[in-house]
Amino acid sequence: MPRQIFKNRVLATAGPLPPTITLDNLRTWIPLRKGRFAEAFDDEVTHLLCTHEQFKKRVPLVKKVLKDYKRIHIVHYDWLEFSAVANKRLPEREYSMRHILAKERAEKRERNRQENGRREGERGVNPTLFHIYQDRDFFPYQIDLTRNSSDDGEFGQRYTLTLWESNAKPHLYWFTAKFIRRKGDPNASYHRPSPCSGKWRHEMDLLLDFFRIKTGIDWQDRVLLAGTTPLSAFQYTPPTGGKPVGRRLRFSYDCCVELNLEWKQQNLPQEIVHKKDSGEAEEAVEMAEDYDRESVGHDADDSDIASNLGKDNCENKTSAARPTRGSNCSKKEPLGPKDSGIWLQEDSAETADDEPGASPMETGS
């Protein structure tokens, strides 16, 4: 006696039967195993039997079930035959037309992804072979620079700077810059200075140099000087809401934000001078007056970093960033041609080995 493998199951057909199965077979096999064969489709149907051709052609009943009956299994006739021979109801997934359709769509998406990646690789970098590099703070090195001054070009110009990391190991890196002339422009142009991927240090330096040229500020000053440059320069907006802002900041993040806010409120000069641009090395200045600390737990020396812009508020935040007597960071650089009250120290992070995989104790923060 066959087992009741089709109990509480109602089976129907989507169209003409295959040559190996007759209508009498269905009328016999299904009720014998406590199932019900519905010669006319109704709402109680649990399984719709069809062939591959019927499913591909989307015969009316298949189209109706795909649209309105998400819970009905659309299976091949092999599921019925093999279940009857094995005397147990086999899993529908291996014979499900929905599963076959999903697999075909996934294969099509993968082919399209590979083709799109190949086309992207001709102009920039193939995203199927590379991914966006993230530092140890999980900051993704895909940076948008925007310029909305119509006097200096099209409104809504945008550069997207990306440092790519290869999927294969050992990792190789590649810097690209994507330029969109105006918002919604489908014809983007790509800048890829290196002919092939290379070491992290070289490609990172290319990104930092490009950032400095387009924004007028150094990478380590991206938070401190955000929104303070002329509108003719490209603007960078640091992430907010607790998102990673990246490593290599001039001071601590909180202090950079506070100094930036106070600078904007006082409308200090927006013109910026960099030693890299001028080529003139400024003479080292003596340390600001020493503050004698008699109480235990305070720093031995203190500098005049924020003397004119909220020194009392930023004193604790910048104490770790200020140089102590005898340190290698005694050189200071003025933020602008006029005395704005902020002096930028030489940052050792520019030359620090911050490559991926380096120990935090070796690289600093």
Check which CATH number belongs to the domain holding 88 and give it.
Answer: 3.40.50.10190
Q: Are residues 145 and 236 in the same domain?
A: yes
170-229 pLDDT per residue, tens: 999 999 999 988 877 778 888 999 999 999 999 999 999 999 999 999 999 999 999 888
272-314 pLDDT per residue, tens: 444 434 333 333 223 333 333 333 333 333 334 333 434 444 4
* The dihedral sign for the CA sequence 308, 314, 315, 320: negative
320-345 pLDDT per residue, tens: 334 333 333 333 343 433 333 444 44
Task: Work out how many domains the chain is built from and give that number.
Answer: 3
Q: Are residues 48 and 152 in the same domain?
A: no
What is the C-alpha to C-alpha distance for residues 25 and 80, in angstroms, rounded to an integer? 11
Question: Which of 202, 225, 250 is at the close of a domain?
Answer: 250
pLDDT value, residue 357:
60
pLDDT value, residue 116:
84
Tell me whether residue 257 is in a domain. no
pLDDT value, residue 100:
85
Tell me whether residue 361 is in a domain. no
Question: Which of 81, 100, 119 is at the close of a domain?
Answer: 100
Tell me whether residue 17 is in a domain. yes
Q: Are residues 96 and 134 in the same domain?
A: no
Q: Are residues 163 and 189 in the same domain?
A: yes
- 162 forms beta bridges with 142, 176
Q: 3-state secondary structure string, the chain?
A: CCCCCCCCCEEEECCCCCCCCCHHHHHHHHHHCCCEECCCCCCCCCEEEECHHHHHHCCHHHHHHHHHCCCCEEEEHHHHHHHHHHCCCCCCHHHEHHHHHHHHHHHHHHHHHHHHHHHHHHHCCCCCCEEECECCCCCECEEEEEECCHHHCCCCEEEEEEEEEECCCCCCEEEEEEEECCCCCCCCEEECCCCCCECHHHHHHHHHHHHHHHHCCCHHHCCCCCCCCCCCCCEECCCCCCCCCCCCCCCCHHHHHHHHHHHHHCCCCCCCCCHHHHCCCCCCCCCCCCCCCCCCCCCCCCCCCCCCCCHHHHHHHHCCCCCCCCCCCCCEEECCCCCCCCEEECCHHHCCCCCCCCCHHHHCC
Q: Are residues 239 and 279 in the same domain?
A: no
104-117 pLDDT per residue, tens: 889 999 988 888 88
* The dihedral sign for the CA sequence 132, 136, 139, 142: negative
Q: Is 80 exceeded by the pLDDT of residue 348?
A: no
Q: Are residues 227 and 270 in the same domain?
A: no
Q: Are residues 165 and 186 in the same domain?
A: yes
Q: Are residues 229 and 140 in the same domain?
A: yes
Tell me whether residue 286 is in a domain. yes
Tell me whether residue 154 is in a domain. yes
Owning domain of residue 308: 262-346
Q: Are residues 243 and 133 in the same domain?
A: yes
Question: Which of 100, 119, 148 is at the close of a domain?
Answer: 100
Tell me whether residue 230 is in a domain. yes
